[in-house]
Amino acid sequence: MVNAERALDALGDPTRRRVLKRLRSGSRSVGDIAQGLDVSRPAVSQHLKVLRSAGLVAVRAEGTRRLYAVDTRGLDALRGWLDGFWDKALVAFKAEAEREERKRS
């Protein structure tokens, strides 16, 4: 629960949402992320720090570079909620569609 709350808090900032979007296509360095965003490198670093502590971004070292990537854990609670909802709805939908199909044949 704490994780999800922090994730939502982190995502409340539009720049952080843009940073996360930049990472969806793969790992990037800070400089790479800052490019194309109208934000300084130190500011991007600060945003990455918040995203990391919220479990939305992970970092790994590659040689002397630090590469940032999306971490799926941060949104797990939110996804769990929608996951459960759609499970329930789709099972009910399946039953109804199959009833309708039997009626037709």
Partner 1 sequence: MTVQTTSTETDPNCVRKSITVRARPDVAWRVFTEKMGTWWPLANYKIGKAKAVDAVIEPRVGGRWYERGDDGSTCDWGRVLTWEPHSRLVLTWDIDANWQPDPTLNTEVEVRFIADGKDTRVALEHRRLDRFGARRDEMRRIFDTEGDWGRLLEMFARAAAA
**49 counts as binding partner 1 under rule CB under 8 A:** no
User: In angstroms, what is the C-alpha Rg of the chain?
Assistant: 20
* Residue number, 7 or 44, with CB nearest to partner 1: 7
Stretch that binds partner 1, among 29-37, 38-46, 59-67, 90-98 (CB under 8 A): 90-98
Question: Phi first, then psi: what are they for 61, rounded to 5°?
Answer: -95, 135
Query: Which 3 state secondary structure label does DSSP give 62?
Result: strand
**72 counts as binding partner 1 under rule CB under 8 A:** yes
DSSP H or E run through 86: helix 76-104
Q: How far is the CB of 100 from partner 1 (least distance, A)?
A: 5
**63 counts as binding partner 1 under rule CB under 8 A:** no
DSSP H or E run through 13: none
Q: How many residues bind partner 1 (CB under 8 A)?
A: 47
